[in-house]
Amino acid sequence: MKAIVNQKNFKKALGIVEKVVAKNTTLPILSNILFKTENGRLKLSATNLEIGINYTIGAKIEEVGQVAVPARIISDFTNNINDEKIALIVKNNVLSVNSEHYKTQILGLDAKDFPIIPKIKNKPLATIPIKILRNSALLVVDSIALSEARPELAGIYVNFENDKIIFASTDSFRLTEKQIDFKHSLKNSFIIPRNTALELVRVAGELEGEIVINISDNQVSFSSDDFEMVSRLVDGNYPDYKKVIPDKFISKVLVNKNDLEKNIRLAGLFSSNISDVKIQCLETKTNITAKNPDRGEIETDIPSTLKNQPFEIAVNYHYLIDGLKIIDTNEVVIEYTGQGSPIVIKPGDNRKDLVYLIMPLRK
């Protein structure tokens, strides 16, 4: 193989694929990146056997070929040089990386030993702008269950239904649901594993344009012209979470999101227990207090607009802060649905595309 690449493009490509390189693996080949000439371009591939990424860049290909090389060393080297052009030459599984100021030889492995990243041969399921996919995944990613106790909760539920794509996640303490409009009406759903969702959010920040979603029985792929990410899907049926979201409220409050978040954080300083922080939504203000026998106490209030009766928000305040973080409006609506029932958080502009719900504290 002999290929000449632009340093900036090559650096970007390494950045995109290297994060899925397996760390501390017993299979040494998985800590490598596969370099392969393909249709007059250079394809970089990495996989940890759960997620695989291919990314292709323009290159001047003088000789076709392939090699697998340790990700760490080629990436550290490329990130630390400024020479514009890099020549990649493979002989006997040794990759020579040469530029104006540097000559290196990196010992690689036979490309034939690199695991095959599967292709999904079904017809594409949907094509959506990558920014919208990223934003939706980003909103729901924090509520994914960390524990594998219920494996089906350890991922993002993606549900195509009635001209909508619904992204949902819950760890059974809180739940996030984001809906986006979708031009075609189709019925399908799957669960993306947490790590895949995190990688997708990370890598999508580097990409532009549209992304094609493709699924098989147990795999999903996200692909564009240059990029492809393939992952296993979570096995199992997502619970019928819709029935947990209350359709009516008893009272609700409209309050400035940043002020509320800040005051809850400050109250958190005076608490050693989640139940130390009390949030009371009154006629014209929201009162936040915390009292702890070892630390002291704090009292703050911010103006707010109440509908119906005053109420107290009795939830884990950390989850409330998480919920406020994903609201993209200056004001936030908090709905009270009764004692022992969840608290519902929505954007302040009455949009219905984003719902965050916190289960009540058990006493």
The binding site for its own copies (CB under 8 A) comprises 70, 73, 76-77, 80-81, 94-95, 101-107, 262, 265-266, 269-270, 294-300
Smallest gap from residue 123 Cβ to its own copies (A): 44
Closest CA to 7 of 67, 77, 95: 77
Smallest gap from residue 117 Cβ to its own copies (A): 25
Which residue carries 């990146």 as its tokens? 33
Smallest gap from residue 46 Cβ to its own copies (A): 18
Smallest gap from residue 300 Cβ to its own copies (A): 5
Contacts of 53 (CB under 8 A, 6+ apart): 16, 17, 20, 45, 46, 47, 117, 199, 203, 227, 228, 229, 230
- Of 27 and 94, the one with the shorter C-beta distance to its own copies is 94
Say how far apart CA 192 and CA 178 lie, in whole Å: 15
- Of 109 and 201, the one with the shorter C-beta distance to its own copies is 109
- Of 8 and 242, the one with the shorter C-beta distance to its own copies is 8
- Of 189 and 292, the one with the shorter C-beta distance to its own copies is 292
Contacts of 152 (CB under 8 A, 6+ apart): 191, 234, 235, 236, 237, 238, 239
- Of 38 and 100, the one with the shorter C-beta distance to its own copies is 100
- Of 167 and 317, the one with the shorter C-beta distance to its own copies is 317
Smallest gap from residue 105 Cβ to its own copies (A): 4
Cβ neighbour number for residue 292 with a 10 Å cutoff: 15
Instruction: Kindly state the greatest CA–CA separation across the chain.
Output: 77
Say how far apart CA 92 and CA 101 lie, in whole Å: 24
Closest CA to 241 of 100, 122, 140: 140
Cβ neighbour number for residue 181 with a 10 Å cutoff: 10
Say how far apart CA 187 and CA 208 lie, in whole Å: 27
Smallest gap from residue 127 Cβ to its own copies (A): 41
